[in-house]
Amino acid sequence: MACVGLQSFPVDVEVDVADRGFPAFNIVGLPDKAVGEARERVRTALVNCGFAFPQKKITINLAPADIPKEGSAYDLPIAIGILVANEDIVLKEKGLFFGELSLDGSLRHTRGALLLALFAKKVEMIRIFVPVESANEAAIVEGLEVIPVRGLKNLVEHLRFVKRIPYLKTINIKKLIETAQPEFDMAEIVGQETAKRALMVAAAGGHNILMSGPPGAGKTMLSRALPGIMPTLSVEETMEITRIYSSAGLMQPGEAVIRRRPFRSPHHSISLAGLIGGGSRPVPGEVSLAHLGVLFLDEMAEFPRSVLEAMRQPMEDGKVEISRVAGRMVYPASFQLVAAVNPCPCGYLGHPKHECRCTTRDVERYKRRISGPILDRIDLHINVPAVEAEKIIGNAEKGESSLVIREKVMKAREKQLKRLTGTGIFCNREMKNKQVKEFCRLDSGGVRILRLSMEKFDLSTRAYFRVLKVARTIADLEGSDDIQSVHLAEALQYREKVF
Amino acid sequence: MERILYKGNIDLLLDKAAKLAIVGSRRMSDYGQRVIEKWMPTLVQRGVTIVSGFMYGVDQAAHKACLENGGKTIAVLGWGIDMKVSAADEKLYQEILEVDSLIVSEYEGEMLGNRASFPQRNRIVAGIADAVLVVEAAEKSGSLITARLAMSMGKPLMAVPGLVTSKVAEGTNNLIKRGKAVMVTSVEDILREMGLVNEQLEIGFKPEKMSNPILVALESGEKSVDELSLCLKIPVEKVMEEVLVLELEGLIEVRFGKYLKKF
């Protein structure tokens, strides 16, 4: 099996051991460097496991010959092919072989095991042989016989019916997800009640959020807690995320699924391909690794403009299309954006104790670095002021835990789902202007407040629609069918400010 | 000086209106901004013309606040009269001309500003003005040159005291400490220094709704929503609603996430 992006297709490993010609060992079929080096790994592993390596002309053909092959997963099928050709074993059962060999003949954790399993299921190839450390990933697919292989020796014994390896039971993903605890608990964050509230609103409506505040105010900590208050993953969502992580080789050895919503925080020196994905060998970028989770851009104003602009398509469509000479790949990239910025280059503008050392010029230039189109896609804007310790100590109570907040968030999501049935969208963030007009009606008091605010705060039409969407989410959180002026007033506090 | 070049209404230079130069640091802090905003309405109302150097920071804040309140202002450039100003300054530049205020310079054409031209400019600022107010200035800054020039010309020099921890207050605080400048802490102090007070004290008008607990809490200084919520013991979402109403009524404003009372 080979992968292009998240698509898989079968690869036949043909092995020919010829008696005539000089002894040689060649791999053809557009192998990359890692596949080419399988020669040395396979030869050494076979010898170290006590098999005779035939001193003949060996040719391996990876068919179809015109698709580039990459990675180390072809080691095992090549080794088994040689053993069969050498008549060391006789294959009596059909199955897919997959895995990277170590020099001593044991099998290593190999990326893409889940993609293999899904492919096997699709082509109704029930039995698959995968390295023991990657086997859990494959075992989440129902209706397969996943055989965890420790090393070449065990596999040969299994195939010779000397000592059979029992196949794995299908792993119950649902239970794994439900038992996953949030990595960061909201209750551990002291103070910053406004920001916590805003995050809850963001989670409830799927809104993107921008936090502005001086260094040390807790922006990073707050955003880390966001995945934990987002709705629990469904089985399908977990599979989607795990597929991406498996193909990128980011699964830990022995890990079955990604149990929590991902949290990705790329550094601002990231390249375009790093964020969006691509490169000559297709790999998912940070936007795809944050699929169904949180993409946190700390110091957003420091990111190169070209990199930020490239996020516009994924933010709009929930996926990225990468076109290269080799072909077109589509990766899912439906993430929630959390951006953090300092109020000025030195970070201390408006800080109660630190003095800001920037000129007004510096500050203006800094603010211009984030373009309008990106800001337009961010529904909530909040200030996270520095916490003055003495005002907090002894005063603050422990806040709500992430699990309690998540309950509320999920209730609000349910309301949205019910209302949005048939529209093809799932949360308030995704509402288009037409739907905003339909679902976000205001009472006369609300209309008045909104009109006054538009004038006073100089809001654009886009900002107007964003305020309404957020107000809808707040009403959903409070369990109210109508948007009341309280909800609207709160939404207006999250309006776009020049941070 | 042989001649002076100008754009706008030259009569401003010679009319009888009192002229106050407001000078200070380019690295103005929020404090400086607030001082200017707080005092400007009264100054304009008393017919004071504001003179400054059109540099970003305190200078431009003074020009801007003056125009916002409908006053007249004179901008003295440290570069050629015809030099194109940067896009960021363009708006203010046009506005000064539109409201019939004045831009002057002693330099011709499109000459760029340099090390020498700015201090030279300062002597014109001090020369035009009847009194000089330093809002925020670091030690060894151009604003202090203006201050020194004003003293040598025998014009009243005033300074706004600042935090002793702030770099942009060192200059002003030292002027006060050494007795060179009069310390001003209210707009009445300025008017008195300039001889614009007709002894009878105005009765301050304060028709404030002190019943609102948020306004009372903000009396003691700026506060964030969190701090308001803590000290009034009401949940943040409720506070957000209340402050929005007050903000819409124009009683408070928000800066960097902290609310403060308007004057």
A220-279 pLDDT, tens digit each: 999 999 999 999 999 999 999 999 999 888 999 999 999 999 999 999 999 999 999 887
Distance CA B225, CA B231 (A): 10
As a whole number, mean pLDDT of residues B115-124 equals: 90
Distance CA B1, CA A3 (A): 80
Distance CA B241, CA A490 (A): 6
Q: Does residue B210 carry a pLDDT above 60?
A: no
Q: Which two tokens stand for residue A112?
A: 């893409």
DSSP code for A164: P
Distance CA A492, CA A450 (A): 8
CA-angle at A447, arms to A444 and A450, nearest 5° = 150
Q: Does residue B206 carry a pLDDT above 50?
A: no
Distance CA A298, CA A212 (A): 10
**pLDDT cut 70: percent of chain A above it:** 96
Confidence at residue A21, expressed as pLDDT on a 0 to 100 scale: 86
Residues of B in contact with A394 (CB under 8 A): none
Distance CA A241, CA A112 (A): 13
Confidence at residue A1, expressed as pLDDT on a 0 to 100 scale: 55
Confidence at residue A191, expressed as pLDDT on a 0 to 100 scale: 80
Confidence at residue B89, expressed as pLDDT on a 0 to 100 scale: 86
Q: Which residues pair with A25 in a beta bridge?
A: A58
Q: Do A391 and B26 touch (CB under 8 A)?
A: no
Q: Does residue B258 carry a pLDDT above 80?
A: yes
Q: Do B236 and A355 touch (CB under 8 A)?
A: no
Instruction: Give the pLDDT confidence of A96-146 residue by residue, as tens digits.
Output: 999 999 999 999 999 999 999 999 999 898 899 999 999 999 999 999 999
Confidence at residue A499, expressed as pLDDT on a 0 to 100 scale: 52
Confidence at residue B205, expressed as pLDDT on a 0 to 100 scale: 45
Confidence at residue B201, expressed as pLDDT on a 0 to 100 scale: 46
Distance CA B184, CA A292 (A): 59
Nearest CB to A383; choose among B30, B250, B256: B256
As a whole number, mean pLDDT of residues A279-294 equals: 89
Instruction: Give the pLDDT confidence of A364-418 residue by residue, as tens digits.
Output: 888 888 888 888 889 999 988 887 665 556 555 667 899 999 999 999 999 999 9
Nearest CA to A109 out of A77, A73, A145 is that of A73
Decide: helix, strand or coil at residue B72: coil
**pLDDT cut 70: percent of chain B above it:** 94
ipTM score for this prediction: 0.73
Q: Does residue A165 carry a pLDDT above 90?
A: yes
A492 at interface of B, judged by CB pairs closer than 8 A? yes
Distance CA B35, CA B32 (A): 5
Nearest CB to A361; choose among B56, B165, B237: B56
Residues of A in contact with B91 (CB under 8 A): none
Q: CA B147, B148, B153, B157: dihedral to nearest 10 degrees?
A: 40
Q: CA A144, A149, A153, A155: dihedral to nearest 10 degrees?
A: 0
Nearest CB to B26; choose among A359, A391, A449: A359
For residue A385, what is the nearest residue in chain B, using CA coordinates? B257
Distance CA A57, CA A25 (A): 6
A10-14, A357-361, B147-151: least confidently modelled range? A357-361
For residue A394, what is the nearest residue in chain B, using CA coordinates? B230
Q: Across chain A, what does the average pLDDT equal?
A: 89
Q: Does residue A481 carry a pLDDT above 70?
A: yes
As a whole number, mean pLDDT of residues A285-299 equals: 95
Nearest CB to A197; choose among B30, B224, B237: B237
Distance CA B93, CA B89 (A): 6
Residue A199 — pLDDT band, cuts 50, 70, 90? very high
Top-ranked range on mean pLDDT: pick from A285-299, A308-322, B34-48: A285-299
Q: Does residue B204 carry a pLDDT above 50?
A: no
Tell me: cis bond preceding A64? Omega within 30 of 0 counts. Answer: yes
All structural domains of chain B: 5-193 (3.40.50.450), 213-261 (1.10.10)
Q: Tell me how close the Cα of A408 comes to any Cα of chain B, in angstroms.
A: 15
As a whole number, mean pLDDT of residues A302-323 equals: 89
Residue B223 — pLDDT band, cuts 50, 70, 90? confident
All structural domains of chain A: 2-159 (3.30.230.10)
Q: Which two tokens stand for residue A161?
A: 């019916």
A55-64, A484-493, B83-92: least confidently modelled range? B83-92
Q: Which two tokens stand for residue A324?
A: 């290269």
As a whole number, mean pLDDT of residues A70-89 equals: 91
B111 within 8 A of B89, measured Cβ to Cβ: no
Distance CA A288, CA A348 (A): 34
As a whole number, mean pLDDT of residues B255-263 equals: 80
Please count the residue pairs, one from chain A and one from chain B, whose beta carbons lie less than 8 angstroms apart: 88
